Amino acid sequence: MAYLINRKILCLGILLLFCNYSHANSPHNFFMMTLSILSYAKWNTPNPQLCVVDNPDYATQFSAYIKTTKSPFSAFAIHASELRTRHCDVAFFSNTTAQAEQTFINKSFNPSVLTFSTSNAECDIGSTFCLFNNKSGNTFFKVNLDSLAQSKIHIDPRVLLLAKKSD
């Protein structure tokens, strides 16, 4: 078991390196990073629901990437208001302010939703994982530990060590 976990952590480290040099400034890196992080989560369901909020193009691209990687997730495009009534295991925000993310998360139907954002560089409120490209085009993530604790989803702690430290 330890060998398998160490191998997965090594694979995520290699993935982070790959994200630094492949398809710079492409949303493809965000999809790859999101699904990689999600692979280290413990889920109570065999097919977790990934809801892409207010971005149908990203939902389509996520679905295609999920299919090619044979990930257990299903991706759906939803409007932010649907978080109140739809069960989402994961919510992905790409064009929402951090404050709006926090509001939608607080009103979510599923209190254990794990959240990702590509528009929340500070990552002190709102989403659990904040993905961004730096000026060189490298993809990194930050973790909002308060949001992670609120989600009650277990993520392998060694993955959290790969997060970019806040300055």
Domains and CATH numbers, the chain: 2-160 (3.40.640)
SS3 90: strand
pLDDT at 1: 39
pLDDT tens, residue by residue, 51-81: 999 999 999 999 999 999 999 999 999 999 9
Residue 49 has pLDDT above 90, yes or no: yes
Kindly tell me the number of DSSP H helices and DSSP E strands found in the chain: 6, 6
Give dist(CA 56, CA 136) in Å, integer: 27
Tens of pLDDT, residues 80-139: 999 999 999 999 999 999 999 999 999 999 888 999 999 998 999 999 999 988 787 778
- Higher-pLDDT residue of 167, 71: 71
* pLDDT of res. 165: 60
In the predicted model, what is the mean pLDDT of residues 32-47?
A: 92
Mean pLDDT confidence for 19-42: 73
Other CB atoms within a 10 A radius of the CB of residue 68 amount to 8
How many CB atoms within 10 Å of residue 113? 24
Buried/exposed code over 48-57 (b: 16+ C-beta within 10 A; e: otherwise): bbbbbbbbee
Structure confidence at residue 164 (pLDDT): 73
